[in-house]
Amino acid sequence: MNHIKFQPFPVLLTERLTLRALEDADLPALFQLKNDPKVSKYTSKTVHTSLDETQAFMAKILSGIEKNESVYWVIENKADSTFLGTICLWNMDLDEEMADVGYELLPAFWKQNYMSEALEVVMNYSLMFFD
């Protein structure tokens, strides 16, 4: 069985995107994402109503990465560093060779194939954990 390790953090690149680590400076954009009812409609998550909720969520995400339990990327436009959304791998089970994928994209960037591009590179990355 392979050992999961997310340090150093795996930055992933596509033609148009950079998938990178979540940073404190992302708090306002992450709040915008988590505060959007259109986004939460498809994730069955509650809408964040305060920056404090989003900050607590960030702390949980960063703890999961530190413990090698999950990995969570910010999806940003490579050309101008615009925050587009997020994508993650979690509930990884190496014995069963499976993991859950979660993703969210700001509605302004829907229907532009950004998520297909991000999913492809994340799926290719995940193959290293499964023999």
> Is 73 contained in some domain?
yes
Whether residue 1 lies inside any domain: the answer is: no
Please count the CA atoms within 13 angstroms of the CA of 28 that sit on its side-chain side. 2
* Residue-range definition of the domain harbouring residue 42: 12-128
pTM for the model: 0.91
CATH of the domain at 96: 3.40.630.30
Please give the pLDDT value at position 91. 84
Pairing type for strands 83-93 and 71-77 reads: antiparallel
Convert the pLDDT of each residue in 72-119 to its tens digit. Answer: 999 999 999 999 999 999 888 777 778 889 999 999 999 999 999 999
Is 38 inside a domain boundary?
A: yes
**Tens-digit pLDDT profile for residues 34-80:** 999 999 888 767 899 999 999 999 999 999 888 888 899 999 999 99
In this structure, are residues 62 and 7 in contact, taking their beta carbons and an 8 Å threshold? no
Structurally, the chain folds into a number of domains equal to 1
Domain membership flag for residue 6: no
Q: How far apart are CA 124 and CA 20, in angstroms?
A: 16
**Is 64 part of a structural domain of the chain?**
yes
Whether residue 36 lies inside any domain: the answer is yes
Query: Is position 102 within any domain?
Result: yes
